[in-house]
Structure 1
């Protein structure tokens, strides 16, 4: 991994061979090793502040809305009354920031494994870390899969905002399991189902269909053994590898149509809410998959 080579940060990994992505660094704000991962925050020349975990870009201020709004509002606006929400992961604060905008949400519980990511974003990226000031939020630090096993609470919505399951091991050639690896298997999805209230919906970071199609298909097929309704959606985030990231959505009610929002906001209302990316038409379009994915998933 070449980082800050001649004033540039370069994301390169054997997980996506033959390609790389670079951002010009204006100012380095933080670099430290937590108990779980390497944390880096820098200010770029054209994309605002950037969070990097174990060498992989998690967000840039310029395009983060395309991910944060979609992972939040796709499930929220497919549910008629999403009053209580659990967030697993989401240590940058973006999801809990978006949840504060939704008028139906009354209570938010979050479980993030790495409290140092939380503190780093609160300190250095207030545009994201402001989410932790949400008065509806109860924050826990610890393993999300274990939290699901131990809690007795039920939730209308569960959102898993996880980093990639496999990360760099510090070399250009090697990888290792990351702190989110336990959130990418069928056992975890079963744990989430057990904590969903009647009619509940979950949405999880679902990797990139150009790079991880096999993993996506495996997860979707596994979820279809547990949930009556399972869909894969995606959003376009230019600074993620291959410019795209997906979501796996599951519903416990067989009548739920995840592809059709149950509430819509006009342009003025969306602007007043502070939305930059999500709207009802984008919601619907997120489920329109290319042929190569349909051939595997359907």
Structure 2
């Protein structure tokens, strides 16, 4: 549920985030509609710029979207020795596509997004992210990610799942069956990276998600980043690799500061890559020792 009241947008979801909310002051509501799959809202805020909201939950804001988009992309890409062919599931705002296509080893990016209206509206209202759809490396398919992967086995080096929260059309992207599908769609040594929610809000869910990943991937890890527009100010990623000896926290591609700046990265560095896997003790105990 979201509330628009006296010039403020408030994200309130008692199922996912009980007893708390996040609010932004609104300058203007740019667009509202109910698509075939979800409620879509795009607003202009005073301090976070434009924001995309799906089913009442903030997906991204122009102020801090780069932290999420860069890390969900470059963590798995830099942990793979040669990520030539990449699949993005979801990511209808285009931000992940924008980042994945920057990596010099990537030759081909396929993206499958279920809701064409998110893509169309992002192109209109969020061109800073939707520019990812215009890159020549990218091939976009509007459709269901499950069905897509069933027809594309042993094809990809990296699969990135940029999903909304585990409600509505995205709920299946957090289940064990989805990890089984991704495993089949990967080449040997392939890597998956999925949005993994916040350990401050949903630590038990993070644990369950990582357990689903472990059932199909011999090397797994959880990392996190800071993102002020997400409730509790952080979000994590569940990462799995088919190579049991891969150390996911150690980047295999190390870029200089000049290369980072040339790729227009503002959050990701090799140092941030390593640091994102260093967890508070209570999280480490829950995810790895219990």
Partner of residue 229 from structure 1, selected from 219, 222, 232:
219
Corresponding residue number in structure 2 for 1:169: none
Residue of structure 1 equivalent to 2:107: 106
1:40 maps to what in 2?
Answer: 41
Unaligned runs of 5+ in 1: 167-177
Distance 2:2 2:141 in 1: 34
Q: How many residues align?
A: 287
CA distance in 2, matches of 1:250, 1:284: 16
Q: CA deviation at 1:292?
A: 1.3
Q: Measure the CA separation in 2 of the matches of 1:2 and 1:218.
A: 27
Question: Residue 241 of structure 1 aligns to a residue in which SS?
Answer: coil
How big is each residue's C-alpha offset from its partner over 1:103-137, in whole Å with a ceiling of 9 and x where there is no partner?
11000000101000000000111001111001111
Report deviation, 1:153.
Answer: 5.4
Q: 2:9 maps to which residue?
A: 9
Tell me the distance in 1 between the aligned counterparts of 2:146 and 2:153: 13
Counterpart position of 1:210: 200
- Structure 2 stretches lacking a partner, 5+ long: none
Q: Deviations over 1:19-69 (max 9, x none)?
A: 111111112211111000010111111111100001000000000011000
Query: 1 CA distance for matches of 2:215 and 2:133?
Result: 35
Instruction: Show CA shifts across 1:57-106 (max 9, x none).
Output: 00000000110000000000001110000000000100000012111100
> Where does 1:62-211 land on structure 2 (aligned, <5 Å)?
62-152=63-153, 154-166=155-167, 178-211=168-201
Give the distance between the partners of 1:218 and 1:5, measured in 2 at CA.
36
Can you list the C-alpha shifts for 1:167-188, whole angstroms capped at 9, x where unaligned?
A: xxxxxxxxxxx10011111110
Q: Which residue of 2 aligns with 1:26?
A: 27
Find the aligned partners of 2:204 and 2:101 in 1 and give their Cα distance: 35
The two structures have a TM-score, normalised by structure 2, of 0.96
Structure with greater helix percent: 2
Q: Distance in 2 between matches of 1:137 and 1:61?
A: 22
Q: Aligned Cα RMSD in Å?
A: 1.1
> What is the CA-CA distance between 1:216 and the residue it aligns to?
1.4
| CA deviations over 1:146-176 (Å, ceiling 9, x no partner) | 211122451000000000112xxxxxxxxxx
Q: Which moved more, 1:100-109 or 1:220-229?
A: 220-229
Kindly report structure 1 stretches of 4+ aligned residues shifted beyond 4 Å. none
